[in-house]
Structure 1
Amino acid sequence: MKRGLRYDFSLLALLLIPVGVSVNVVGYQLSSILKFPIFIDQIGTLFVSMLGGPWVGLVTGLMGNVINGMLNPVAFPYALVAMTTGFVAGLLSRWRWYTNIVGAVAACFVISIAAAIVKAPVTIAVFGGVTGAGSDLLTAALLVTGTSLIKSVFSTSIFTAVASTAIDVSVSWVILRKLPDRFLIKFNYGSPYVRKVATAS
C-alpha cells in the first residue's frame, strides 16, 4: 500500500497530535525548571510517530517547539531537530522497528544520529555553539582540550541526543506496549503492536 500524507493524517492521528504536543511542552518545562543537562521534550513526538507515522510525527515535533519557543525563544531554531526526530521515528515505525526490544534500541541510535546531524549546525549557526544549557559544560571541556568548535558541538550533540532519545523512546515504547489492542488497531501504524491474535474456534 502506498503511504504518504493522506494516509498518515487520519482522523485519529490528527486527534493524537495535541496530546503529543502537550506531553512535549510538559517535558520541556520540567527539563528547564529542574535544570536537566538534557531535554526530555520529545516523548510526545515519538509516541505520536509510532502510531501516526512520519508526517504526523513531523507536525507534532514542529508544533511542540513552536509552543515551547513562545515560552523560551531558544527552542524555536530547534524545531528542525524535533521535525527530524518525528519524521525518522515515524519511518522506523513504518518499517516495524519498535515491535521488539532490539529494534527499539537500534531506533534510539538511528534517531539520535539524525537529530545530532541537524542539531549541531543549528547550535553553531544560531547560538555560536553555546545555548546556556547544562550540556554547554561538555562543549567547554572539549574546547579546553583543543578540540575544534565544530567537533566539540557535534560530540556534545551526539551525547545529549543519545541520552535524551534513550529516555524518550523508552517511555514512549513502554506506553505503546501497554495500550490495549482495541485501541492500537484503530491507528494506521498500530497493527504491528497488537499482541493478541484471534483464532478460529
Structure 2
Amino acid sequence: MEKGLKYDFSLLALLLIPVGVSLNVVGYQVSTVLKLPVFIDQIGTFLVSMLAGPWIGMLTGLLGNVVNGMINPIAIAFGLVSMSIGFVSGYLSRWKFYTNIFGVLVSIIILTLVSALTAAIVTVFLFGGVTGAGTDLLTAAFLATGRELWNSVLSTNLISGLVNTLLNFFVSFLIVKRIPDRFLVKLTDGSLYLKKGAISCE
C-alpha cells in the first residue's frame, strides 16, 4: 500500500516526536559535556523514523537540534544532518532494509555517507572546519598530514559518522525490540518489527 504524507502524520506518530526529541537532547548533552569524539544524539531520530516513517523522523531530527540549539547555537546548523538521517532512515525502514542483516549493513553504509557528507558541508562552509567538538582533534591530525581542509573534514566525518551511525542505530533498534507487539501494530511502520518479523541483534 502506498503511504502518503497524511498517513505518516497519525496521532500516535506525532506523540512519538517528544520521546524522540528527548532521547536526542539527552544524548547530545552527554556527548557535549564529556567532549566525546562521537555523538549519541540521533537515537531518537532513528527510533522514530523506524516506527513512524521518513517525515516524522525528519521532523524529530530537526526539533532535537532546535532544542539543543537553545544551549549551543551550533547545534541548529547541524539540523540538516539530523533531518537527512531521519528522512533516509525512515525510507530504509519502510523498504524493509532493517529486517535482515544484509539490509542493515547496506543501510549503515548509506546512512554513514549521508551523515558524513551533510556534516562536512555544514562544518566547512558555515564554521570553517572547526566546531569545538571532540572530532576537531581528528581533523587537525588529518590537516597535519598535508590534506586539504575539505578532505580532512570529510575523512573525519566518515570515521565518526560510521561510529555514530552504528551506536545510534543499534541502541534504537534494541529499544524497538523491547516495545510490545500490541503497541507496534498501532504505529505507521511498527508492524515491520513484530517479534517474529524483525532480525535479532542479540
Q: What TM-score bracket applies, with the shorter chain setting the length?
A: over 0.9
Deviation of 1:178 after TM superposition, in Å, equals 1.9
- How far did 1:105 drift? 3.1
For 1:98, the aligned partner's letter is Y
Name the structure 2 match of 1:166: 166
1:153 is matched with 153
Alpha-carbon separation, structure 1, partners of 2:195 and 2:75: 38
Deviations 1:84-142 (A, max 9, x none): 00000000011011113332233222111111111111100111001111111111111
Deviation of the 1:196 alpha carbon: 4.7
1:71 match: secondary structure: coil
Change in Cα spacing, 1:165 to 1:193, as seen in structure 2 (3 Å) is same
- In structure 1, the partner of 2:41 is 41
C-alpha RMSD of matched pairs (Å): 1.2
Q: In the aligned structure 1, how far is the partner of 2:195 from the partner of 2:28?
A: 32
Number of aligned residue pairs: 197
For residues 31 and 102 of structure 2, the distance between their equivalents in structure 1, rounded to whole angstroms, comes to 28
What is the Cα deviation at residue 4 of structure 1? 2.3
Aligned to 1:20: 20
Specify the SS of the correspondent of 2:35.
coil
Mark the runs of 5 or more structure 1 residues left unpaired by the alignment.
Answer: none
**Pair 91,110 (structure 1): closer, same or farther in 2 beyond 3 Å:** same
- CA distance in structure 2 between the partners assigned to 1:36 and 1:60 by the alignment: 23
Give the Cα separation in 2 of the matches to 1:20 and 1:111. Answer: 18
Q: Tell me how far apart the structure 2 counterparts of residues 11 and 46 of structure 1 sit (CA, whole Å).
A: 19
CA–CA distance in structure 2, aligned partners of residues 165 and 195 of structure 1? 23
Aligned to 2:200: none
1:4 matched residue in structure 2: 4
Structure 1 length as normaliser, TM-score?
A: 0.94
Larger gyration radius, structure 1 or structure 2 = 1
Q: Which amino acid aligns with 2:104?
A: A
Deviation at 1:58, TM superposition (A): 0.3
C-alpha separation in 2, matches of 1:75 and 1:19: 19
